[in-house]
Structure 1
Amino acid sequence: MSNRIIDYNLETIPEGAQPHSVTATPVQMGGRHTLRVTLTDEVSHGVPNVDFIDMPTFLKIPVEFKNGTLSVDIFSKLRDDAPAYARGFAGLAYRISDHTDAFEAVYIRPLNGLKTKPEAPRDKRALQYFAYPDWKFDRLRQEYPDGRFEAGADIGPAEWVNLTLVMDNSNLKAYIGGTECISIDQTKATVITGYIGLFVDIGTEAFFSNLRITISN
């Protein structure tokens, strides 16, 4: 049987999509029709680890996904009110549970990208995997000091970045512009199937384009 492919050019908000702590607005950016996704003002002024930082802050798209490939173009930059620790966090959430109480995600940190010439250890922190609610970036970093759940990448702020994720049960590979950056044999998945999300975090204004969902049979 062939794989099922679903394409969203993101010129408009996908039918049935639901914002969770974000606003989503169709806009033009860099000659493209895109979706601008950013935290609501209320959430942005909320409490860290309660309202934001590896929380359910995404536009949820009602496509059931278990295994396969996700690919999207992201243009990420800082908001005017971004805190000092903001890095342009934006990416993809997937296997989002029905009640949005569990999911996995991979996001970029463009201000940690190699194009910004960051000092160590930030040079190895441009791409991050996490699993909500138990395995956020800080716990992963503490319990796995080998850095297996994050990686450096040749990216920078305010440029188009292609993020591609390939999932096969508990195996994950993450690519930036076609280059493999993260390979995980055992993720922290707690939900085996669920919805897709366009993810953003604190201080970020992100633009998403050309979302392709390839569902493996």
Structure 2
Amino acid sequence: MKRLRLILFTPPIILAMCPVNALYAETALAEASGLVSLEADNLTVKNVAVKPSRYRGSAAALVTVDPFNPADDATFAKVDGIAFTDFTLDVSVAGKPIDATSSARGFVGIAFRVSDDLERFEAIYIRPTNGRADDQLRRNHSTQYISHPGYPWEKLRNNQPGQYESHVDLEAGAWTRLRLIVRGSSARLYVNGAKQPALIVNDLKLPVSKGG
């Protein structure tokens, strides 16, 4: 199976469902590990387009959204044929702005436990241009957890400031290694091989379920 990385260049937030180099998934029924194909015929897309590409010397799946028709947070490419409850997922992603507008920051991340109708999911993503911003408040918003549709980032930030986002050092446009560990109602995000998590969420909002 071809090794692929994920590259995202998007103005609004885009959430990549299971865009993985290597997947280690544990469920109540079975355990699975291995590489997952990111070829277009192995993906179900929601409000995005996917095409093969190359970026910084690596094969990549280029996932883009229409900058003139953003679709809230529900923009992702879902790998078909995979469902899990608890898992450890390793993925390399890259995101950067298309242009210099303030809203075009190349957000990129992982959606998980996606419902069959694609309308409900949990997600953790990074904001690459915030990682080294000159404004400390922006730095503090480098990572983000959301739960679609009931808990967008604005609601979480307003109700519980700082609890569902954090700072981590990021370079816009560079390959960034993410490790997401999900167990029950908890999730931990590790960035670029760090031994300590950049973000801890102990109260995932959706009921624990098996999904892609």
Structure 2 length-normalised TM = 0.79
- Name the SS for the 1:138 alignment partner: helix
Q: Which residue of structure 1 lines up, in the alignment, with residue 104 of structure 2?
A: 86
Change (3 A) 1:4 1:14: farther
What is the Cα-based RMSD across aligned positions, in Å? 1.8
Pairing 1:104–2:132 present: no
Identity %: 30
Q: Which residue of structure 2 lines up, in the alignment, with residue 211 of structure 1?
A: none
> Which runs of 5 or more residues in structure 1 are unaligned?
196-217
Pairing 1:182–2:205 present: no
Counterpart among 151, 156, 178 of residue 140 in structure 1 = 156
Pairing 1:29–2:55 present: yes
Q: Which residue of structure 2 lines up, in the alignment, with residue 53 of structure 1?
A: 72
Counterpart among 143, 167, 182 of residue 152 in structure 1 = 167
Which is bigger in relative contact order (C-alpha 8 A, separation at least 6)?
1
Find the aligned partners of 1:121 and 1:73 in 2 and give their Cα distance.
26
CA contact (8 A) 1:103 1:190 kept: no
Runs of 4+ in 1 over 6 A off after TM superposition: none
Q: Which residue of structure 2 lines up, in the alignment, with residue 194 of structure 1?
A: 211
Give CA deviations for 1:161-198 in whole Å, capped at 9, x if unaligned.
Answer: 01111000101111111221011221112451211xxx
- Name the SS for the 1:59 alignment partner: strand
CA contact (8 A) 1:19 1:58 kept: yes
1:64 offset after TM fit, Å?
0.4
Larger strand proportion of the pair? 1
Q: Which residue of structure 1 lines up, in the alignment, with residue 9 of structure 2?
A: none
Q: Which residue of structure 2 lines up, in the alignment, with residue 167 of structure 1?
A: 182
Give CA deviations for 1:58-97 in whole Å, capped at 9, x if unaligned.
Answer: 11112102101111101111114x6422321111111000
Aligned residue type for 1:149: Y
- Name the SS for the 1:84 alignment partner: coil
1:9 offset after TM fit, Å?
5.7
Change (3 A) 1:112 1:143: same
